[in-house]
Amino acid sequence: MSEEVLRKVRRIFVYIALLMIAFVLSYIIAYPLGYSPLGYEEMEIKEDKLLLQSYDFLGMEENRIPYEPQKGEEWKVGLLKDLVNQQQTQYLFFYTAIMLAIFWGGFDLLRKKSLKRVLFQGFLYAFVPGVSLIRHLNDIKDVLQNST
């Protein structure tokens, strides 16, 4: 094998290692630590009532939101529970994209790429997971707001 091929193979292995590190760190942040800024958490579940804890931008407790659906819409409790439980997966994808943008952006800066290009690529890495996370959080808000 030539030196050029070996260099490309090494670079691919480094990128795979960075992807794995980003995923593991994101998993730790999203699941065991449960860091979910602007997110929600189930506090208490009764037959057709649900108590949610909302979090602010820094992930600190903001307020408790009681949810009791209107008559005939009891199915929304199950929907809301599913949406809140799926929120951690959305955060996992978002955190992974952010960490990859930071890692690969750092490598690109070390390889003397322009800062403008690095910032644009970082934005593109985080755009789709960010939009998906925002839509998911807005779905939860819509269910909560349409109950009152």
Question: In the predicted model, is pLDDT for residue 4 greater than 80?
Answer: yes
Question: In the predicted model, is pLDDT for residue 51 greater than 80?
Answer: yes
Q: Is residue 71 very low, low, confident or very high in pLDDT (cuts 50, 70, 90)?
A: confident
Residue 135 lies in a domain: yes
Average predicted confidence (pLDDT) for the chain: 92
Residue 53 CB: number of other CB atoms within 10 A? Answer: 16
pLDDT at 147: 65
Residue 111 lies in a domain: yes
- Of the two residues 1 and 22, the one the predictor is more confident about is 22
How much is the average pLDDT of 50-64?
90
pLDDT at 54: 92
pLDDT at 133: 96
Residue 82 lies in a domain: yes
CA distances, 41 to each of 80, 117, 123 (Å): 11, 38, 28
pTM: 0.89
Q: How many domains does the chain have?
A: 1
* Segments forming the whole domain that contains residue 113: 3-34+74-146
Q: Is residue 64 very low, low, confident or very high in pLDDT (cuts 50, 70, 90)?
A: very high
Token duo for residue 100: 């990859």
Q: Is residue 93 very low, low, confident or very high in pLDDT (cuts 50, 70, 90)?
A: very high
Question: In the predicted model, is pLDDT for residue 20 greater than 70?
Answer: yes
Residue 56 lies in a domain: no
Q: Is residue 135 very low, low, confident or very high in pLDDT (cuts 50, 70, 90)?
A: very high
Q: Is residue 148 very low, low, confident or very high in pLDDT (cuts 50, 70, 90)?
A: low
The answer to whether 68 and 147 are in contact (CB under 8 A) is yes
Residue 95 lies in a domain: yes
Residue 45 lies in a domain: no
Residue 54 lies in a domain: no
Residue 48 lies in a domain: no
Q: How far apart are the C-alpha atoms of 9 and 73, rounded to whole Å?
A: 56
